[in-house]
Chains A and B, each alone.
Chain A
Amino acid sequence: QKEVEQDPGPLSVPEGAIVSLNCTYSNSAFQYFMWYRQYSRKGPELLMYTYSSGNKEDGRFTAQVDKSSKYISLFIRDSQPSDSATYLCAMSSVGEKLTFGTGTRLTIIP
């Protein structure tokens, strides 16, 4: 079993819909939780960063971390075609390497 599990999709939704992306993990030492967005043939771009449990909102994006359930989520409101990309969850312990999910490929249909 992988340390981080992420549904690879692909996921297609109409423009304007709310998108929910999720990851589960098994390592209770993880304290830093991140979501990266990766466009085709580009490097991962940091989207959201959360330390420990809780919610964080930035514009149309909301990240949630539930350490008791070892479950993290990313919500995208009012989705746009430009949001079409692969979304990678990543997590780590203090000062440690990032452990990534496989990535979810998302397409927003105009």
Chain B
Amino acid sequence: GAGVSQTPSNKVTEKGKYVELRCDPISGHTALYWYRQSLGQGPEFLIYFQGTGAADDSGLPNDRFFAVRPEGSVSTLKIQRTERGDSAVYLCASLAGQGTNIQYFGAGTRLSVL
């Protein structure tokens, strides 16, 4: 595709529910990142995939958060037992290639936990 695509663009859920957020990176980009942006803050790193494997998941806040990328392209961020504090914009970025660190971002999924 032309850019990084994230779906849904908005997600409203109730406390305690399970949600899945999808990221479709730029075609051919092997590295994929998830970030979380709270209101008035810069994006904060969650997890990074190189191919199918999670190369760095040190930013995941707790074990309610999990992400997969089974075929090395589309990635899904999964949040169990959502809490109101999980409300934020979840951003996905894909990396142009080795030798640079240029990351291209999607428009994000705005998650609201009521």
B106 touches A103 (CB 8 A): no
Residues of A within 8 A of B93 (CB): 98
Contact of A95 among B101, B107, B110 (CB under 8 A): B101
Q: B residues 66-114 with Cβ under 8 Å of A?
A: 91, 93, 98, 100-108, 110
A102 touches B108 (CB 8 A): no
Looking at A40-48, A52-60, A77-85, the stretch in contact with chain B turns out to be A40-48
B101 touches A98 (CB 8 A): yes
Judged by a CB distance under 8 angstroms, whether B20 is at the interface is no
Residues of A within 8 A of B40 (CB): 8, 102-103
Residues of A within 8 A of B44 (CB): 100
B43 touches A100 (CB 8 A): yes
B42 touches A43 (CB 8 A): no
B105 touches A45 (CB 8 A): yes
Interface size class of B (residues with CB under 8 A): 20 to 34
B91 touches A43 (CB 8 A): yes
Contact of B102 among A8, A49, A101, A103 (CB under 8 A): A49
A100 touches B101 (CB 8 A): no
Residues of A within 8 A of B98 (CB): 95
Instruction: Kindly report which residue of chain B lies nearest to residue A95, judged by CB atoms.
Output: B101
A88 touches B42 (CB 8 A): yes
In the assembled complex, 12 residue pairs joining A and B whose CB atoms fall closer than 8 Å, in A order, are A6-B42, A43-B6, A43-B91, A49-B100, A49-B102, A88-B42, A90-B42, A95-B101, A98-B43, A98-B101, A100-B43, A103-B41
Chain A contact residues, CB within 8 Å of chain B = 4, 6, 8, 32, 34, 36, 41-46, 49, 51, 88, 90, 92, 94-103
